[in-house]
Amino acid sequence: MDAVLEYAPLLWRGTVTTVELTLASAALALVISFVVGLARLSPYRAVRWLAIVYLEFFRGTSALVQLFFMYFVLPLWGIFLPPILAGIIACGCNLGSYGSEVVRGALQSVAKQQHEAAIALNYTTYQRYRYVLIPQAIPMMLPSFGNLLIELLKLTAVTSLITINDLTYMSQIIRAQTALTLEPFLAILVIYFLISTVLIGGMKWIERRTSKGRNTIVRQGA
């Protein structure tokens, strides 16, 4: 264990990379979730289809394959992504496809009457989503987003295979330098567990914050 402790600075840098990768991909995934989730509800068939193609592509293939494709194949076409960016894009796009289903599901579960009330008040489609539907849907999305965030954290471990110096990769370096196996793996398992537990705590905190003062379960009539 001492040898591993000696390499604590590497582990620390890996932890930072992993967290950065997770958060950056999460931001990307969030944007994609909303864009694709809303596109699924578009009145235009073509837009809906594009969204479905996106969804099925990223949900239907392995994240690792996507990662390798972005890292090794895209450059052959002149699309050059630095590894960390390829990692962020692959993780973000992959999780974004799952997130878009969460967004769509939550939006669809907002009562139809809320749509109608907004139309009756002459809101534009944009206003309807921006001010009425999305604010009501967000509290419903949060628990699923929390789970997806953990999936994302775990997914970032895969980026070690395209040489991103994340936690998992650092553990491989430590193994090469020290020829230890149990200790580095145990150490990063614990670190991953701690990170995800902190992330879950953070999401729970946000859930509590957003549900404060308002009750999203609409009590309508008797």
Partner 1 sequence: GAGTLDEIRERGYAIVAVANEPPYSDIKPDGFVTGAAPDVARAVMKKLGVPELRSQLVPYGSMIPALQARRVDMATSGLYIKPKRCESIIYSEPDLCGAEAFAVAAGNPHNLKTYEDIAANPELFMTTCAGCAEEAYALERGVKPEQIKVFTDPPSGIKMLQQGRVQVFALSGLGTQDLLKKTNDPNLELVMPVKGVPMGCAGAAFNSADDDFRDMYDKALKELKESGEFASIVAPYGFSAEATLAVKRDDFCPGN
Partner 2 sequence: MFAGTRAQAVNADLRGQMQNIIEFQDVSKSFGSLQVLDDLNMHVVPGEKLALIGPSGSGKTTILRILMTLEDISAGEILLDGEPLWHEMRGGKRVRASEHHLRKMRDGVGMVFQQFNLFPHLTATENIEQPQVLTHRKSKAAAREKAAEMLSVVGLVDKRDHYPHQLSGGQQQRVAIARALAMDPKIMLFDEVTSALDPELVEEVLNVLRKLAEETDTTMLTVTHEMNFARDFADRVLFFEKGKIVEAGSPEDIFTNPKEERTRSFLRKFLTGIN
Partner 3 sequence: MEWSWSVAYDVMPRLAAGLIVTVQATLVGALVAYVLGLALAILKMSPYRLVAWSSYWSSEFVRRTPLLVQLYFLFYVLPDLGIFLEPFAAGVIGLGLHFSTYTSEVFRAGIENVPKGQWEAARSLNYSTIQTWRHVVLPQAIPPMIPPLANYLITMFKETPLLAAITVVELFNAANIYSNSHYKYLEPMTLVGTFFLLVSIPAAALAIRLENAFRRKA
Chain residues binding partner 1 by CB under 8 A are 6-10, 13, 72, 75-76, 80, 82-83, 161-163, 165, 169, 172-173, 175-181
Per-residue binder mask for partner 3 (CB under 8 A), 30-59, x = binder: --------------------------xx-x
From 31-39, 85-93, 147-155, 212-220, span contacting partner 3 (CB under 8 A)? 147-155
CB of 171 to partner 1, least distance (A): 10
Q: What is the DSSP string of the chain?
A: -HHHHHTHHHHHHHHHHHHHHHHHHHHHHHHHHHHHHHHTT-S-HHHHHHHHHHHHHHHHS-HHHHHHIIIIIGGGGT----HHHHHHHHHHHHHHHHHHHHHHHHHHHS-HHHHHHHHHTT--HHHIIIIIIHHHHHHHHHHHHHHHHHHHHHHHGGGGGGT--SHHHHHHHHHHHH---HHHHHHHHHHHHHHHHHHHHHHHHHHHHHHTT---S-----
109 binds partner 2 (CB under 8 A): no
Per-residue binder mask for partner 2 (CB under 8 A), 123-152, x = binder: xxx-x---xx--xx----------------
Q: Which is nearer to partner 3, 33 or 159 (CB)?
A: 159
Q: What residue 82 binds from partner 2, partner 1, partner 3, none (CB within 5 to 8 A, per partner kind)?
A: partner 1
Q: Which is nearer to partner 3, 107 or 180 (CB)?
A: 180
Question: Could you say which of 51, 137, 157, 162 contacts partner 3 (CB under 8 A)?
Answer: 157
